[in-house]
Amino acid sequence: MVPESYYLALSVALFSTGVVGVIVRRNPLVIFMSIELMLNAANLAFVAFGHRLGSNDGQALVFFVMAVAAAEVAVGLAIIVAIFRLRRRLSVDDLSLMRW
């Protein structure tokens, strides 16, 4: 039996990779995929903790995270497509309109 802390360690590593991806990359689509990576790392931690505690609540929460992620991806990609229509370029450096 694999101890849950291994799963948690993997989840932490995946989450950090996602954070680095969000900061380093300039393509909004790749940034979005990195966010998905972070969500999945959190989901893995949920399931691992649920397994450790012997309860199914973690899995129910993961279900909700999946639903929210689906909604988020649909809206986010629509926003990116709308931005692309306006600008014809795709780099987060160009999107400084609301910068203080």
In the region spanning residues 61 to 90, those forming contacts with other proteins, defined by CB under 8 A, are: 62-64, 66-75, 77-82, 84-85, 89-90
Measured at the CA of 50, the angle between CA 17 and CA 33, to 5 degrees, comes to: 25
Q: Smaller CB distance to other proteins: residue 89 or 97?
A: 89
Closest residue by Cα to residue 12 from 53, 40, 35:
40
What is the closest distance, in whole angstroms, from the C-beta atom of residue 92 to other proteins in the complex?
A: 11
* 52: its two tokens: 């450790």
What is the closest distance, in whole angstroms, from the C-beta atom of residue 44 to other proteins in the complex?
A: 6
Closest residue by Cα to residue 46 from 3, 2, 4, 16:
4
59 interacts with other proteins by CB under 8 A: yes
Judge whether 52 and 4 are in contact, CB under 8 Å. yes
95 interacts with other proteins by CB under 8 A: no
x/- letters, 34..53, toward other proteins (CB under 8 A):
x-xx--x--xxx-xxxxxxx
